[in-house]
Amino acid sequence: MGRHGSASVPQDAARDVVLSHASGPTLAVGLPSGETADAAQTVMDGVVAFDNNDGSTTVPIVKDGASVQILTIVHDATAPERYRYELDVPVGSRLQQEASGAIVVLTAAGALVGGVAPPWAYDATGAPVPTRFEIEGTSFTQVVEHLAPETTYPVVADPFLGVAMVSSYRWETSTRILVTPTAWARAVYPGNVAGAPIAGNPGFDELRAKQTSSTYRNRLGASARNQYICHVAGAPLTSTWNPETNRADKGYLGFIASGCN
């Protein structure tokens, strides 16, 4: 297992993709058409594809930071518009859908287990295809409305699942830490001021847990936490997030108003 955790893809579509956090619970997801899909076929080194035998193909791709992108390739109009994913989550956990369309998995106590970034789908010309997630219990379905006359095949859609928030960090000075978030951390709450604390708090806890020195760990206090959460909402595309531990704490909304520092 890596510093953040790991993601593994099966050779049998009836088995789960497994995301393991380095310091948290495991999240597993079943592939669509798992009982009827063919065995894995190697596309390139480290990448396999499952022919679903229904006009679609599933291609799970392991990404950085204990995350996986499960591409669905819709080849033609014979393919279904609904692709169901069953999650194996800790007992008592629930799925919650955010305004962006993202899904977060929360324990009974409200702690973040992991989640799914907002859905997208595009046809062969790059035109967006209407898509959404629907939740039922501990499963979610991606609906891909590809049957419109203007659709040019193939269509590609993807649930992007992750469990880790921090890819790496470096102390630039004794009071300024540069944090590189995982791709999933960037994708889950961009622009969502109200929702960002759901992912930001466990992300900051993960950052603190990664510190090898108690001196630096103790510097990551309330001010740094609120700056970090602000970056989750307000700076998803910046290369690093840069909490400054010597800043007076303005509160989360105070840092939102001042650009996160």
pLDDT in tens, 57-94: 999 988 876 788 999 999 999 999 999 999 999 899 99
Query: Residue 237 pLDDT more than 90?
Result: no
Q: How many CB atoms lie within 10 A of CB 191?
A: 11
DSSP state of 228: H
CB 103 within 8 A of CB 95: yes
**Stronger pLDDT, 44 or 221, i.e. the higher one:** 221
Quick: pLDDT tens for 150-172: 999 999 999 999 888 888 899 99
Query: When comparing pLDDT for 3 and 206, which is higher?
Result: 206
Count Cβ neighbours within 10 Å for each residue of 235-247 and write b for 16 or more, e otherwise.
bbeeebbbbebeb
In the predicted model, what is the mean pLDDT of the chain? 89
Which pair of tokens denotes residue 10?
Answer: 């099966």
Q: How far apart are CA 69 and CA 120, in angstroms?
A: 12
Gap between the Cα atoms of 199 and 197, Å rounded: 5
CA distance 164 to 212: 18
